[in-house]
Amino acid sequence: MTFPNFYYKRTAATAKACYICYKPTVTVLATIDTSDFFYTCPVHLTDRGFATRAPDPEPDVKKDKGAVSAEEIAKVKQEWEEKQRLKKEKEKEKKADGGKKDDTDGERKDAGEEKDVDAQRAKAEGQSRAKDI
């Protein structure tokens, strides 16, 4: 049975003796299906005569969905600035119209007070009629 000469660096839960220096280590070199593995110290992995690091595959831009282009960032920033500008304009309008709205609110309050007074009068009249009977 032959094993591929391509190992992945993994971390084990328990420390065992290094294959080369017999010091305890949790670093393991294992094949993809873990059919072959051996413990080795991280120091030995930096030794060029022992193991050579495989080149990392270049990330594919199409596969990387998390990347955001500069155009998208500029678009979102512009939309946010527009919303903030509109928000400030509304606040200014509210401050400018604040005195006018208070007058209409005052009229509404007066009308509400009149209704309360009418309700109190009707209630009082109802009680006085009950006494008369």
**Does the pLDDT value for residue 60 go beyond 90?**
no
What tens digit of pLDDT does each residue of 62-92 get? 555 667 788 889 999 999 999 999 999 999 8
**Does the pLDDT value for residue 100 go beyond 80?**
no
Task: Give residue 129's pLDDT band: very low, low, confident or very high (50, 70, 90).
Answer: low
Spatial CA neighbour of 5 closest among 34, 39, 31, 23 = 31
Residue with tokens 């831009």: 61
Query: Quick one: pLDDT at residue 31?
Result: 84
